Each structure stands twice: as C-alpha cells, then as structure tokens.
Amino acid sequence: MLQLPTHPIRILIVDDHPVVRAGLTSMLGTQTELEVVGYAASGEEALAKLEQSAPDVILLDLRMHGMSGIETLSAAKIAAPAARVIILTSFETDEDIYRSVRAGAQGYLLKDTSLKEMVEAIRTVYSGKRYIPREIAIRLAERMMRTDLTPREVEILKMLSKGPTNKQIGHALGISENTVKNHVNSIIEKLEVSDRTEAATIAIQRGLISTDD
C-alpha cells in the first residue's frame, strides 16, 4: 500500500528546455495532490534551489548543458538526501538507465509518459518505492548482468568506432599491438558480439560511447 501524503507532494522540475518546464508545471498543476515548488534550467541552478524549495520529488532531465543529469543526481543525493529523484528524459539507452539507477534514481520515465503514469510514478517514489516501467526494468536487468568495461576498454572502444587498426591504436595509446588485441578480444567477449565492428555499433546503441566522442 502506498503511503498517502498528508500534504501536497512538493516537486522540483529540472530541465533546460523552457517549453518542457512550462508544460510539466501546467500539467502537474492540475493535480491537487501535487505542488510544483520550483524549477531549474541547469544542475547548478537545481542545487542552489534545493534548500529553499525543499522538494519531496525531483523530476530530472538527463541531458543538460553544464552539469549532466547524472552529476546533478549524485550531488542532489548529498545535498538533499530525503528528496526522491525521477529521471524524466527523451533518452533510454541501456547505459543511461543503468547509470541513473546506480547513481540513486528511484524512478525512470520517458517524456512522452502519460499524466496518469507520471502521477503514479511520483506517488510511488514518494512512498519510498521504485517506479521503473516493465520494459525499462527488463533492459536494466540485462545490463546489470553484463560485466562492466574497464576505462581502458572504453577508451579503445571509442577509437574502434573511428576505424583504426590495432597497431594504430597501440601507437596512439603507447601500448603494444598485442595488448590492444587482448583488450579488443575482452571487449568482444563482454559485449557478446562477433567482431570489433559489431562491438562499436552495439556500444553506440547502448550508450556506452557517443558518436561525438
């Protein structure tokens, strides 16, 4: 049974798009059990407003200028440990989901979520439980079963996506061609793919690396 609030659930909206902030404020304002107590256009602004707004629940975008959503989440868990955080984003790569939950998010929703589901998610995390839609929970479980790549393997993955040979990668990193080959084989095994090209493709799809890297 969900904990019923004795006062409107106080919500802080953190998103760098003004239209999104206005839309969420208007939409959630129709619910008597909810109260939007503030909004912020960046992680830095959100942290500055935490003390004065004292939110019960933070709706947090992942991709923002300046501090990322994950950085903001980690800092908010220290600055306002009682506040519950729901990631509300347009992105849903396996790595986005995994990093958000690992950093302390209690919920994960996409921005096209219905008002009904959003209210349910807010009430659920306010009561102390997690709210992760089934299809996202399945992907999270699959991601948690995979072995993490090492920082060096991620570095080599980024280079693989640009097409250099093992010898060229080794020269750039100051390591032997054979060491690069061992790292590539480890990457292929961890990602459960057949070759280096598929490894780079899957890494981009899952959000392990970006095409901008």
Structural domain spans, the chain: 9-144, 151-206
Strand order in the sheet with 9-14: 34-40, 9-14, 57-60, 84-89, 107-110
Q: 9-144 has which CATH code? A: 3.40.50.2300
205: CB partners within 8 A, 6+ apart: 93
Please give the model's pTM, rounded to 2 decimal places: 0.70
Sequence letter at residue 108: Y
Which residue is listed with tokens 């790549």? 149
Q: Where are the beta strands (DSSP E) in the chain?
A: 9-14, 34-40, 57-60, 84-89, 107-110
Contact yes or no for 120/112 (Cβ under 8 A): no
- The domain 151-206 having CATH identifier 1.10.10.10: the answer here is yes
Q: Write down the pLDDT at residue 147.
A: 67
CA distance 1 to 30: 24
Residue 5 has a pLDDT of 61
Paired residues of 108 in beta bridges: 87
* pLDDT for position 65: 83
Mean pLDDT of successive 10-residue stretches along the chain, which has 213 residues = 71 93 92 93 92 92 87 92 91 80 90 92 94 85 74 90 91 93 90 88 81 61
